[in-house]
A and B are shown apart, each in its own frame.
Chain A
Amino acid sequence: NAGVMQNPRHLVRRRGQEARLRCSPMKGHSHVYWYRQLPEEGLKFMVYLQKENIIDESGMPKERFSAEFPKEGPSILRIQQVVRGDSAAYFCASSRRTSGSIDTQYFGPGTRLTVL
């Protein structure tokens, strides 16, 4: 059973370009979470998605950032018009989230975004 997969592992963009980060959850997991780790800072929650639904986006910056988890395919975190401050490691986690319980989140290896 493959773990959470993220690609690309490293992404370099110039200011003003778009960044697309992909996350494939573990098999059987329908809940996806995105976290960001800025240099010298802890991990911060960004968004929580189920298939085709955004459940909690309280940690997402109001502008330039969006996330989706379509019925088919991976979850995508999209950053438009990137700025240097977006340089960070972006982690995706997935869980089975059985009804009535909070399930363990399993993390992917992360995508390290560098904005030049």
Chain B
Amino acid sequence: KQEVTQIPAALSVPEGENLVLNCSFTDSAIYNLQWFRQDPGKGLTSLLLIQSSQREQTSGRLNASLDKSSGRSTLYIAASQPGDSATYLCAVFRDTGKLIFGQGTTLQVKP
């Protein structure tokens, strides 16, 4: 059974810091991995999708890496801003198409 774990559960950093969010999964037979952002009381916004054949994806200040063999992904946020404060979720796809989510990391960036 696929399980997805995110560490840490919560993180508070001063503005401007670079930070890393971690995601691990137990079954390496995934099709791809997706990182989302969720603001309080809102829906999910897709940030990055990494295909299983890829090692990383970049979008602006965000960089996500994927190591299938070790069952790990990281989301790197450069030069964090208060507007980055949100909950970050990682989710893995199996061939059934359903997403299996981690519990999320709640990030607070202090001005």
Contact = CB atoms under 8 A, between A and B. Distances in A.
A42 interface: yes
A69 interface: no
Interface in B55-85: none
Interface residues of A, number: 26
Interface in A8-56: 31, 33, 35, 41-45, 48, 55-56
B28 interface: no
Given A42-B103, A42-B104, A102-B93, A91 B98 contact: no
A109 B42 contact: yes
A102 B94 CA distance: 9
A62 B93 CA distance: 24
B60 to A, nearest CB: 17
Contact of B99 (A35, A55, A109, A112): A35
The residue in B95, B101, B104 that gathers the most chain A C-beta atoms within 10 A of its C-beta is: B101
Contacts of B102: 42
Interface of A: 31, 33, 35, 41-45, 48, 55-56, 58-59, 91, 93, 95, 97, 102, 104-110, 112
